[in-house]
Chains A and B, each alone.
Chain A
């Protein structure tokens, strides 16, 4: 400390001795102080370690986890793929860390027993295959199964096999299973969207932002249930259905059958060719000749471009011969018919004559305005391009008038029908719900037909349900209107197969100001005893649509007493419709 302790107290006698002693004393003191300080530091550190820090350190496990976290420093920074929600905030898709099972073959002693035990826990793991996987000599890694559920993981842990281990990775979970399978789509193992909205909104989702869809799971389920029921009842091959908001084009529900559980897509997606039937989105990708439902547009074209009155007549007494084609009526009336009659009896001859009076060019222009000539823009990328007649000859005009020779997607059909009934404004189908107040995504709605024509179309569509081919789509109190369609699918001798049908119904309700467009299509239905062998749109698709409307009413809380039958919009059309039987005439006069 003080290098010369004696300097402040200068000794007079025996200076040398006293200086040496004082120096030694000072050095000893210094040494002592250094030691005391060193021990002091150690003591403080010991107190710190044993008392201060031990109070906060909870366990060894915690420390280990902290160390692990510190090692994978990017764990917190890693971007998780965004979630997908329905319009009410129900979770449709999320990413979770799930355990994947792998084996270290070198550590497994009783390999056959483990293979057997695993095949019992996971029915899809074949015992023999697993055994080969874990019996590879010198191998230290055998990947067994991704996405274990907590219960499955527990069972594996109960085996107590040190050679079985888990690695954790993000995987996509779809809590609603098969619901809206084709609309949601799926991701690959690397987490990139491969189909549906997973692919369509890949950029947003990859940035970790959530996506909200326009669909409502409750309506989706109702539609799915009724579609499935109709397909089973009529032993059909496939089907498609949609509920769309008639004004905004928001898709509230969309079903394509057969479908698949989104949580098990890896097997299906591995072989897309073989599983094409299941993976094809029949709403947006599949293009179909829809048949009679197309008469909606032929009739609208007539009313809009020719300003035709309902009283205009068409001679449907004899089959129409155009070139090598002969056009017949399915529900043949064999008489001269007015516009409402042609529409409600779904007369092919009448529609062909309508198209003729519109003219090829105007009809083409009209259909092009409806968006039937181009591939539609949509939030999902799997969208089919329509097949239109090329070149467009006279016979094309005729066949297109009743929905043959032109193939479009269900999406286009629904959007165009919505425009016919919503007052005439074009709708752009939407699957991504725009954030409230976000006007950037709202596209201009062009006027396709006048409000007056739209009003007429509503009355005609209602007439089909009250008196025409779509009677089975009626739900008392809900003012349903629509058009049935039964198309023969291409194939067979004359280019069309009489036995394989595409039966559909497209409608809207409530008809005095439609809010919802409903579409049901059943592919290759077989007539049943209950339908007297018929497999037409009126027998197959219309009842399913009615059941969907009934369910929708309950789900959305739409009361049944808001409709007044005496004010029905189809009543003014009855003057143009010849009553079929004396009995019906009597009813009409009442």
Chain B
């Protein structure tokens, strides 16, 4: 989002953190925001696609669903009397191009069922995914593609 919108967002968060909505506090929040932006401008990633709010909510919905499944699965594996896991590391070819997309995808992979991203190759094309229970590597990749990559591509690319 543009820097001005960012400054106003930070000031609003400051108001909520403080708990009292007076113009004075908003002004203090605005000064804080300007200071933050002044020092962190270089590492701020400008992105036009941030305004696609609808796709963001679609991504959040599918991410929350995957998160719930992931935790139930961890629960099942950990509390079952006999451990039956076949772990392994598989490569996953991503179609995300932007750094933001790859970062979001790698982070989401870690928090969703049975997968954990270990590293991204130098050309940002392959994510190495550690999987808890491999039946077929293709099925795992297909799950990531359907559940995570498509919403992320819709949201930020």
The answer to whether A and B interact is: no
| A interface, CB within 8 angstroms of B | none
| B interface, CB within 8 angstroms of A | none
